[in-house]
Structure 1
Amino acid sequence: MLESTWFFLWGLLWAMYFVLDGFDLGAGTLLPFLAQNDTDKRYILNAGGPFWDGNEVWLISAGGVTFAAFPPVYASMFSGLYTALMLLLFALIIRGVSFEFRGKLDGPGWRKIWDCCHFVGSALPPILLGVAFANFFQGVPLDENGVIHGGIWHLLNPYGLAGGLLFLIMFLMHGALWLAIRTPGELSHRAGRVAVKLWPVLIFAVLAFLIMTAMATKLFSNYLQNPLLLLILILPVGGLVQMRVCMGKQRWWGAWASSAATILGVTFFGVIGLFPALIPSSLNPAWSLTIYNATSSPLTLKIMLTVVCIFVPIVLAYQFWVYTLFAKKMSQDDLDYEEAY
């Protein structure tokens, strides 16, 4: 029971990270395409300004839970996927620095450098995360000692790249909807139009990924054995439909919430399909890391569960307060504020 609980919490933490950091990663990726002048760029940067560093706490939490609840999984990931994880880390570092350094000097060349860094640091993480999770879905060359063979080039297979593309499109949609909410005037209208154009692209990407999933993985096995699990599809399917309805009525908050539901649903569709595996082995299913052979002791899991029950509600309450305080449409006054980017 404890193992299953922590498997669910592990998936939930990753899903929360995708939802909350997804919109500002998507917004940063859209920066060179939506912004027509420096003021537009500053609006896009400040749209995620009060949130981006807090959102990344969920990534740290997901990594921490992997380390504490499933140590062999953490060891295998950080050895076999070392290059990909370092690329993810450096991309997020460069992106964080770009927020702070862009406005330190007034020269256009200086700002252009950090705009490029912000774009790369925003676009690379969703691709890397999508590639990583897609490879977990289909299985990686994991041997009996828990060592992943093949390196980063092995991860760049057609199914892995399809996962990276799907994550990028989901985050772009999420970011465009957020910019439609937060930015004023014509920039908001452009972001809304981009979101509308991205919707059919997202539908195509989801359908293509599902078809490839059926061909390349055993992810549907749990659903075939227990059809009630298919109820999880209410989240992504309902989210996609409601997203388009809300965009048609220019109800951007509703569309953004529907996008969040879609990301949650897609994540849990994959997580439930993996159960009980955490890292399936493509070499021998018996060598897979599962919740039964890769968990910490029951005492560790109980202590961690107590900590989670105390502190996660506090973090959620704090983030809810931050979003309530800052998640309104910006104005020139927000750019004139001395702490603005």
Structure 2
Amino acid sequence: MELPTLWFVLIAVLWTGYFFLEGFDFGVGVLTKVLARDRAERRVLINTIGPVWDGNEVWLLAAAGGMFAAFPDWYATLFSGFYLLLLAVLISLIVRGVAFEYRAKRPEERWQRNWEHAVFWCSALPAFLWGVIFANVVRGVPIDAEKEYVGSLPDLFTPYALLGGLLTLALFTFHGAVFTALKTVGDIRSRARRLATGLGVLVTVLALAFLGATQADGGGPASLAAFLVAVAGLLAALVANGRGREGWAFTFSGVTVVAAVVMLFLVLFPDVMPSSLNEEWNLTVENAASSPYTLTIMTWCAGIATPLVLLYQGWTYWVFRKRIGTRHLAPDPHAASRSDGATASGEATAPAVR
């Protein structure tokens, strides 16, 4: 395999890993307003991802960094043409991280409620925008002969792109609901399973529409196989969820996310960013790649660093593998001083997020 093709595969792996891991993070953030009934349950949901959410975002840094070094023209065109969308994603990720840390720093009801709103909206917005962004990357955008994006912001919000955004939002929320059922106990666990069933039906409809349109537009045998795996994984996740097999349900929902992303990259290859103006202006793995020397150095560095990162992240998930619920929450240190006189449960003893 030639180095440009190898790095296209590696970047696809990095984006796939990011969406698999950060997908349920986004889903849990959305569920803080959809599933949780009170502040104690919202704290439980946030604590399920407390030890891992920042590690999951490392995959985004690795994917973007890999694109910058291996395919500088792809990186430049994507990050300049999609600047406002990516800026919205970046701001959302920053605010969401701050919300996790600052939500419990003060006792006022309004303070905590506002940060909880930030967790919800800064999870839902990136989940939607990533679908819009990748739908445009796969379908093609106005790129001229100088490899520059010449469209406008409204050009990125086509019906196809909006459908992609709705799919990723629904899919990540479903992924998060299955993860919540896997990581919690009691009533939250039962309600997460029921909600996952309804979300799974919605995701099935959206997936058939979006992935079906993608396959019809430019797919081949390999992408068709990935499409079928995604649908089969989704159906298997629904069956496992209905039977209370949360571990299998999460595994199959992860298969759905992975297969869907893989399908998009299979449809995209050998392009990395098609031009809707002229096929001769498409960015490909060949004309957008760095020099062979650069790719060789990157390959050696990735071969050394990647296993270490995987081992560390796997260890983190193993350490924080236990289920939690409202009964695992310690007393809230701010409860006595809260201005509205209400009481709420405090921190979980295992996860690190407050």
Shorter-normalised TM-score: what interval?
over 0.9
User: 1:158 is matched with which residue?
Assistant: 159
Question: Residues 67-82 of structure 1 correspond to what in structure 2 (within 5 A)?
Answer: 67-82=68-83
User: 2:86 is matched with which residue?
Assistant: 85
Supply the distance in 1 between the matched residues of 2:215 and 2:312 (Cα, whole angstroms): 40
Q: Which amino acid letter does the alignment assign opposite residue 150 of structure 2? A: H
Q: Which amino acid letter does the alignment assign opposite residue 282 of structure 1? A: S
SS at structure 1 position matched to 2:272:
strand
User: 2:46 is matched with which residue?
Assistant: 45
User: 1:254 is matched with which residue?
Assistant: 248
Question: Residues 288-307 of structure 1 correspond to what in structure 2 (within 5 A)?
Answer: 288-307=282-301
Question: Residues 25-36 of structure 1 correspond to what in structure 2 (within 5 A)?
Answer: 25-36=26-37
Supply the distance in 2 between the matched residues of 1:301 and 1:171 (Cα, whole angstroms): 33
Report if aligned partners of 1:141, 1:149 keep a CA contact under 8 Å in 2: yes
- Residue 278 (structure 2) pairs with residue 272 (structure 1): no
User: 1:58 is matched with which residue?
Assistant: 59
Supply the distance in 2 between the matched residues of 1:254 and 1:52 (Cα, whole angstroms): 22
Unmatched tracts of structure 2, length 5 or more: 330-346
Report if aligned partners of 1:181, 1:328 keep a CA contact under 8 Å in 2: no
| Shift of residue 84, structure 1, vs aligned partner | 0.7
Supply the distance in 2 between the matched residues of 1:192 and 1:248 (Cα, whole angstroms): 7
- TM-score by length of structure 1 reads 0.94
Question: Residues 1-341 of structure 1 correspond to what in structure 2 (within 5 A)?
Answer: 1-214=2-215, 217=217, 219-220=218-219, 223=220, 227=221, 230-233=224-227, 235-331=229-325, 332-333=327-328, 335-337=347-349, 339-341=352-354
Report if aligned partners of 2:141, 2:275 keep a CA contact under 8 Å in 1: yes
Quickly say closer, same or farther: Cα 1:294–1:340, change in 2 above 3 A: closer
Identity %: 41
Q: Which amino acid letter does the alignment assign opposite residue 294 of structure 1? A: A
Report if aligned partners of 1:276, 1:291 keep a CA contact under 8 Å in 2: yes
Supply the distance in 1 between the matched residues of 2:76 and 2:106 (Cα, whole angstroms): 42
Supply the distance in 2 between the matched residues of 1:85 and 1:20 (Cα, whole angstroms): 19
Supply the distance in 2 between the matched residues of 1:230 and 1:58 (Cα, whole angstroms): 26
Supply the distance in 1 between the matched residues of 2:319 and 2:200 (Cα, whole angstroms): 29
Supply the distance in 1 between the matched residues of 2:212 and 2:223 (Cα, whole angstroms): 18
| Paired residue total | 334
Report if aligned partners of 2:215, 2:223 keep a CA contact under 8 Å in 1: no
Quickly say closer, same or farther: Cα 1:92–1:340, change in 2 above 3 A: closer
C-alpha offsets along residues 56-88 of structure 1, whole Å, 9 cap, x if unaligned?
000000000000000011111121111111001
Unmatched tracts of structure 1, length 5 or more: none
Q: Which amino acid letter does the alignment assign opposite residue 337 of structure 1? A: T
| Shift of residue 214, structure 1, vs aligned partner | 4.9
Quickly say closer, same or farther: Cα 1:107–1:228, change in 2 above 3 A: closer
Supply the distance in 2 between the matched residues of 1:152 and 1:70 (Cα, whole angstroms): 23
| Shift of residue 234, structure 1, vs aligned partner | 5.0
Q: Which amino acid letter does the alignment assign opposite residue 81 of structure 2? A: G
- TM-score by length of structure 2 reads 0.91
